[in-house]
Amino acid sequence: MFTRHNRQSLLRYWTTRYVITLCIGLLVIGIISGLWIQYNEAEKRLNMMSLMAEEIAERIVDTNGELSIGPFLGGFFNRRLPFLHLEDKPLFFIIDQQKQVIFADPPQGKMGDGPLMDIKMILDDQTNIGKTENKHGGNMFFVKREVETDGHTIGWVVLLSPEKEITQSKSEMQLLITLLGSLALLGWIVIYLFVKKLATPIKDVADAAKQIVKGNYRVNLQREVKEQELAELLESFRNMADRLAQLESMRTELLAGVTHELKTPVTSISGLVQAVKDDIVTGEEAKEFLEICTKETGKLQKMVEDLLEFNSFTVGNVRIRKEHLDLPQLIQEIAHQWEIVQDENTVVVHLDMPDKTLMLHTDPLRVQQILYNLLNNAKQASKGIAEINIRLYETGQGIAIEVRDCGSGIPREEQSLIFEKFFRGEAKKHKVRGLGLGLPFSRLLAQALGGDLQLTESSEKGTTFTLSIPAL
Ligand SMILES: Nc1ncnc2c1ncn2[C@@H]1O[C@H](COP(=O)(O)OP(=O)(O)OP(=O)(O)O)[C@@H](O)[C@H]1O
Ligand SMILES: [Mg+2]
């Protein structure tokens, strides 16, 4: 029986698995994008601050080439602030040639006790844009510009803002989170719908299989699907169920056929023997009766032997003795041997063989058995003199032997059943005695030799079977 523990439904299994993968993927994308956005924002703000510092540096030099801080400065600075998108205003310093702060916004007194950071260190720094530490240990970005006149540095403009302020980008982050969140939700919905769509027909097939296990072959698989693979699965399953139903109903019928075939000779033998025993027939007639009995016994014996051999074959007791032999020659011999034991003027066998030796490693007795079955069937299907053609030809993989008759043919609806054990055609079963084992047995033998036996074509004009034998 199936072990059910630790099994999850397809829907749950794949939905959780895919959603976890999706979320991990989106998280990685989120982190990378977040860092990139922060870096970009910081760069933009620092460039903007640089530009402001440069503008200020140009405006605070008077006509004498001296530093002059006019009242315009505060307004000018404040008008540009909104472009920075900062929550707090940056610190703004103007420093003279002696490295003394001559202007500070906010004024230095408001910054607590003493200056917040070492301005001299910033001035000594080689770069114009950089990072420094304030006295509370926090990181600050600085932007510095030299104030120049006639090629001399007469002071500096310095702008400072905490790192947190410079790198923050709230609205972009909100947008990113909303986007990734929507993507995760959308992904989950798509996967959920997809797996649900996939799981439903599979579940239908599993339910139908359970019905078949219970012996109910009339399964209900009416669902129409658009996907090719699923449609194929449903279609094949429906066909399989139909075929099983057909075989199941055939089984009882076929068994009745077999019983009938075995019973008929027994009944006739016992009737004949009884007649002789009761002296109803005497002399020459009695002898004739006993002769019929011997013939019937022989047929019965043949049928029982067929049945026993078929059975031992199907349970795997296959005895194959391969030899190296010339196949055209073997087929000729087999055809000849078969032909000479037939009643006179009942069969004509035509052979069509390549005019050369074709050595093969195979079992001659099994090949003979198969051909005898095919030839007997061909003869039984023919009216009057049975004309049979045997053609041998080489194929890519080995050799094929075609047995063609000019008989009545096999009705289309019976063609898929003739290799079923105990199946007998409607026309034949009332005419010739047999168990319906010839073809299935021959196919088993052909497969045991590594080849196959197929019905190539059949019409009212005749039937062709092809036996293929591999080269090795
Ligand atoms: N050459 C043929 N022409 C027409 N019908 C055929 C031919 N060969 C086989 N069949 C059909 O296929 C059925 C199955 O053949 P198969 O050889 O398995 O059984 P059988 O000949 O009826 O009985 P058995 O071979 O056991 O004596 C036959 O009953 C017949 O209806
Ligand atoms: Mg037969």
CATH of 217-317, one of 3.40.50.850, 1.10.630.10, 3.30.70.580, 1.10.287.130: 1.10.287.130
Atom nearest to 429 CA in ligand 1 = 29
Q: What is the pLDDT of residues 274-301, one digit of tens each?
A: 999 999 988 999 999 999 999 999 989 9
Tell me if 49 CB under 6 Å of ligand 1: no
Confidence of residue 68 (pLDDT cuts 50, 70, 90): confident
Residue 388 to residue 378: CA distance in whole angstroms: 7
Nearest one of 190, 192, 187, 186 to 9, comparing CA atoms: 192
Q: What is the mean pLDDT of residues 183-196?
A: 91
Report the range of poorest mean pLDDT among 46-50, 112-116, 127-131, 234-238: 112-116
pLDDT at 4: 53
Q: What is the pLDDT of residues 9-59, one digit of tens each?
A: 888 888 888 889 999 999 999 999 999 999 999 999 999 999 999 988 888
Other CB atoms closer than 10 Å to residue 328's CB: what's the count? 19
Q: What is the mean pLDDT of residues 95-109?
A: 82
pLDDT at 80: 83
Atom nearest to 435 CA in ligand 1 = 26
Tokens, residue 191: 């996967």
Exposure on the CB side of residue 242, measured as CA atoms within 13 A: 7
Which one of 349, 439, 457 would you pick to mutate in the ligand 1 pocket, going by the greatest count of ligand atoms within 8 A of its CB?
Answer: 439
Report the range of poorest mean pLDDT among 98-107, 138-147, 273-282: 98-107
Tokens, residue 63: 């006509």
Confidence of residue 109 (pLDDT cuts 50, 70, 90): low
Tell me if 418 CB under 6 Å of ligand 1: yes
b/e code 23-43 from CB counts within 10 Å (16+ = b): beebeeebeeebeebbeebbe
Q: Across 100-109, 212-221, 398-407, which has the greatest mean pLDDT?
A: 398-407
**Is it the case that residue 112 has pLDDT exceeding 50?**
no
Report the range of poorest mean pLDDT among 102-106, 185-189, 344-348, 443-447: 102-106
**Is it the case that residue 431 has pLDDT exceeding 70?**
yes
Atom nearest to 378 CA in ligand 1 = 1
Which one of 261, 309, 377 would you pick to mutate in the ligand 1 pocket, going by the greatest count of ligand atoms within 8 A of its CB?
Answer: 377
Other CB atoms closer than 10 Å to residue 237's CB: what's the count? 18
**Is it the case that residue 2 has pLDDT exceeding 70?**
no
Which residue is closest in CA terms to ligand 1's atom 29? 424
Q: How far is the CA of 316 from the centre of ligand 2 (A)?
A: 22
Share of the chain above pLDDT 70, in %: 97
Q: How far is the CA of 373 from the centre of ligand 1 (A)?
A: 9
pLDDT at 328: 95
Tell me if 257 CB under 6 Å of ligand 1: no
Which residues have a beta carbon within 5 Å of ligand 2, which is an ion? 377, 438
Residue 163 to residue 134: CA distance in whole angstroms: 11
Q: What is the mean pLDDT of residues 388-393?
A: 97
**Is it the case that residue 177 has pLDDT exceeding 80?**
yes
Which one of 260, 424, 431, 443 would you pick to mutate in the ligand 1 pocket, going by the greatest count of ligand atoms within 8 A of its CB?
Answer: 424
Residue 425 to residue 380: CA distance in whole angstroms: 12
Q: How far is the CA of 432 from the centre of ligand 1 (A)?
A: 10
**Is it the case that residue 369 has pLDDT exceeding 90?**
yes
pLDDT at 436: 92
Q: What is the pLDDT of residues 247-284, one digit of tens each?
A: 888 888 888 888 888 888 899 999 999 999 999 988 99
Residue 256 to residue 429: CA distance in whole angstroms: 12
Which one of 300, 418, 461 would you pick to mutate in the ligand 1 pocket, going by the greatest count of ligand atoms within 8 A of its CB?
Answer: 418
Q: What is the mean pLDDT of residues 125-138?
A: 85
pLDDT at 115: 58
Selected residue with higher pLDDT from 288 and 246: 288
Confidence of residue 67 (pLDDT cuts 50, 70, 90): confident
**Is it the case that residue 377 has pLDDT exceeding 90?**
yes
**Mean pLDDT, all residues of the chain:** 89
Residue 146 to residue 410: CA distance in whole angstroms: 106
Q: How far is the CA of 432 from the centre of ligand 2 (A)?
A: 10
**93 φ, ψ (degrees, to nearest 5):** -130, 145
- Contact by Cβ (8 Å): 50, 128: yes
Atom nearest to 425 CA in ligand 1 = 31
Class of 321-470 in CATH: alpha beta
Residue 36 to residue 43: CA distance in whole angstroms: 11
Q: Crossing angle, helix 438-448 and helix 364-381, to 10 degrees?
A: 150
Domain 10-172 sits in CATH at 3.30.450.220
SS (H, E, C) the chain: CCCCCCCCCHHHHHHHHHHHHHHHHHHHHHHHHHHHHHHHHHHHHHHHHHHHHHHHHHHCECCCCCECCCCHHHHHHHHHHHHHCCCCCCEEEEEECCCCEEEEECCHHHHCCCCCCCHHHHHHCCCCEEEEECCCCCEEEEEEEEEEECCEEEEEEEEEEEHHHHHCCHHHHHHHHHHHHHHHHHHHHHHHHHHHHHHHHHHHHHHHHHHHHCCCCCCCCCCCCCCHHHHHHHHHHHHHHHHHHHHHHHHHHHHHHHHHHHHHHHHHHHHHHHHHHCCCCCHHHHHHHHHHHHHHHHHHHHHHHHHHHHHHHHCCCCCCCCEEEEHHHHHHHHHHHHHHHCCCCCEEEEEECCCCCCEEEECHHHHHHHHHHHHHHHHHHCCCCEEEEEEEEECCCEEEEEEEECCCCCCHHHHCCCCCCCCCCHHHHCCCCCCCCHHHHHHHHHHHCCCEEEEEEEECCEEEEEEEEECC
Residue 134 to residue 160: CA distance in whole angstroms: 10
Tell me if 388 CB under 6 Å of ligand 1: no
Q: Edge-to-edge strand order for the sheet containing 152-162?
A: 101-105, 91-96, 152-162, 139-149, 129-133
Q: How far is the CA of 441 from the centre of ligand 2 (A)?
A: 9
Share of the chain above pLDDT 90, in %: 51
Residue 403 to residue 455: CA distance in whole angstroms: 10
Q: What is the pLDDT of residues 324-336, one digit of tens each?
A: 999 999 999 999 9
- Contact by Cβ (8 Å): 333, 364: no
Confidence of residue 79 (pLDDT cuts 50, 70, 90): confident
Ligand whose nearest atom lies closest to the CA of 443: 1
Q: Where in the chain are the domains?
A: 10-172, 217-317, 321-470
Query: Do the domains at 10-172 and 321-470 have one common CATH topology?
Result: no
Tell me if 425 CB under 6 Å of ligand 1: yes
Tell me if 444 CB under 6 Å of ligand 1: no
